[in-house]
Chains A and B, each alone.
Chain A
Amino acid sequence: MNPSRSHGIRISGVSKVFAGLPRPAVDDVSLDIAPGEFMTFLGPSGSGKTTTLSMIAGFVPLTSGSICVDGKDISGLKPHKRDLGVVFQQYALFPHLTVAKNVAFPLQQRSVPKPEIRTKVDEALALVGLSDCADRLPRQLSGGQQQRVALARAVVYQPRALLMDEPLGALDKKLRDQLRKEIARMHRELGMTFLFVTHDQEEALTLSDRIAVFNNGKVEQVGTPTELYERPATLFVAQFLGESNVFTEDGDERKFVVRPERLDLHAGPDSVPDGHQRRKAVITEVVYVGNHHRIGLRFDGGTEGSAMRLAGAPLPAAPGEPVIASWSPSHQTSVQGG
């Protein structure tokens, strides 16, 4: 399959108000998705990420704002005129059609000649590694296979972008990891614009070029995975994406966060490096997580936090004992909110 020409999506001031709900489901969201980019909407349930995707796909009308693909406003178009591919959490394959006919469906809607349909269906099924299953019915496939058919069906007509709504949500861990790698590979091979909606931070961090973090119908922060993890702009982002130790500036209401792996633990003050920030704490628990230990901390003042030690590294103190946590000031990030 040839890499298709890539298309950008621009969302400007989009809001969605559902009748009877106290606050907008989506509240004045603006985002630019670059051509060929892998963009992820990350957020808890009810944060507005799926509603935003549904508005791009045309399933839900906008209350205000506009959505443009390649600079053309599509917000008034019916879903079948938008030429976007959509993958759903529950696969949404046509149960009465074989795998090949499911994948052929969008091509038939576009009046593609029959021989060409056959070639394209074969190519799409090869892309997802299901060439052997062309004549089976969806119910004869596993969940992972069904979702791969859905992916093939959603890219076979080279839509302007592929939208995925929690596509791995219904699968168990092992299949999820496998399919995640396949989605990353498809993005590399097709060069298509991908929009991926998830509440799973690991999926977001490993797949995306950029992530938009949604909360309460608004976008909290947009950035690369590294930017979001290393420099969260808000307390919500810091806590939703990975773990954070939250501290309050002395004599100030401003908060800043330090990631667990950036904390050093010391039995006494002598070993704390010069220039490091420090806080007294008590170890509350040590949890073995395979390749590392997660060390629960209670800081002076009562806030809970955590640090990380690679497996095999000695612990400075046992649970119940006091320690001093220190970090380099370059690893602390001021955040808004909370």
Chain B
Amino acid sequence: MPSTKQNMGWGLRLWVLAVAVLLLAPTLVVIPMSLGAGQTFEFPPKEWSLRWYEEFFSSPQWMDSVITSVQAALLTGVLATVIGVAAAIGLDRGRFPGREMLRSAMMAPMIVPGIVVAIAIYATFLRWHLNGTLLGFVLAHTVLAVPFVITSVSASLAGYDRTVEVAAASLGASGWTIVRRITLPLLAPGIASGFVFAFVTSFDEVVIALFLQTPDIRTLPVQMYDSITLEIDPTIAAASSLIVVVTTAALLLPQLIRRRRSDA
């Protein structure tokens, strides 16, 4: 692997740099903006301060939305992971008619436009009285997040040699013991990144959340959207920066853990 990495020419390096800047620059601009002292957005800020963070953390509206978002994202992560892991294993090992159709159906939320899903969910949840409840956010986000878990767990399953399960059975392990001691530990990296993707999917989802919100319960992205339509002040920059930090940390953490483990 190192040999292909090191032989990158200068042209390619510049190209990679340009793409990276294009992708990251807008995100990174928001962080200095959130640290400004002025009344409006400034880049770069003339004076630095933490006043917008203070504003953010002392506002009950912002804090409520953060708590709702974190709760929804954690519960979505757990629920989508349980469903997605079971589905990925079933789709990988099951031999039944309509298997590929079932897979396509479960992956559909990735392809169907978000607004279509949102309207469908809004109409259904209205009837089920799930609008404006934490359970509603969790169920709706789980629908969006399950395909990510299926994708990452399926990737782990593709490189998985089932002879180890046969071996475990010959050594005296029953079906459930094999799942617990062999299958799940070996799929753990795929399951962990599936969980992180599910968490992040819920944490930054805005379209469905806009439909499901009520004045009493809304997620952080919805609160941000409302705040820019009403009045605009740099508190939103502080909120954005926090989202960037949380999602980046969530995505990097498993990789850092994996690297640490393979070094040991």
Contacts and interface: CB of A to CB of B under 8 A. Distances in A.
25 contacts: A57-B170, A58-B170, A59-B166, A59-B169, A78-B169, A80-B169, A80-B173, A83-B172, A85-B170, A86-B166, A88-B163, A88-B166, A90-B161, A92-B161, A93-B164, A95-B186, A96-B185, A105-B168, A105-B171, A109-B171, A109-B173, A150-B167, A153-B171, A154-B170, A154-B171
Interface of A: 57-59, 78-80, 82-86, 88, 90, 92-96, 105-106, 109-110, 150, 153-154, 157
B163 A80 contact: no
Contacts of A90: 161, 163
B49 interface: no
Nearest to B170: A86
Nearest to A106: B171
Given A153-B171, A154-B171, 16 more contacts: A79-B169, A79-B170, A80-B171, A80-B173, A80-B174, A86-B166, A86-B167, A88-B167, A92-B161, A92-B163, A94-B186, A95-B164, A105-B173, A106-B172, A154-B170, A157-B172
B217 to A, nearest CB: 42
User: Looking at A57, A78, A79, A110, which has the most chain B CB atoms within 10 Å of its CB?
Assistant: A79
B31 interface: no
A121 to B, nearest CB: 13
Nearest to B186: A96
B172 to A, nearest CB: 4
Given A90-B163, A94-B164, A84 B170 contact: yes
Contacts of B173: 80, 105, 109
A90 B174 CA distance: 22
Residue of A82, A94, A153 contacting most chain B CB atoms (<10 Å): A94
B192 to A, nearest CB: 14
A191 to B, nearest CB: 21
A79 B177 CA distance: 13
B191 to A, nearest CB: 13
6 nearest A-B pairs in the assembled complex, by CB-CB distance: A109-B172, A92-B167, A106-B171, A86-B170, A79-B169, A92-B163
Given A80-B174, A88-B163, A109-B177, A94 B182 contact: yes
Contacts of A82: 170
A276 to B, nearest CB: 54
Interface residues on B, range: 10 to 19
B180 to A, nearest CB: 12
A110 B170 contact: no
A153 B171 CA distance: 8
A6 to B, nearest CB: 19
Contacts of B170: 57-59, 79-80, 82, 84-86, 154
A43 to B, nearest CB: 21
A105 B165 CA distance: 12
Interface string B145-184: 0000000000000000101101111111110010001100
Which of A80, A83, A110, A154 neighbours the largest number of chain B CB atoms within 10 Å of its CB? A80
Contacts of A92: 161, 163-164, 166-167
Interface in B197-236: none
Nearest to A88: B163
A109 B164 CA distance: 15
B156 to A, nearest CB: 12
Nearest to B171: A106
B172 A110 contact: yes
B4 to A, nearest CB: 21
Nearest to B162: A92
A96 B174 CA distance: 19
Contacts of A154: 170-171
Contacts of B161: 90, 92
A109 B170 CA distance: 11
A126 to B, nearest CB: 20
Nearest to A95: B186
Contacts of B167: 86, 88, 92-94, 150
A59 to B, nearest CB: 6
B121 to A, nearest CB: 39
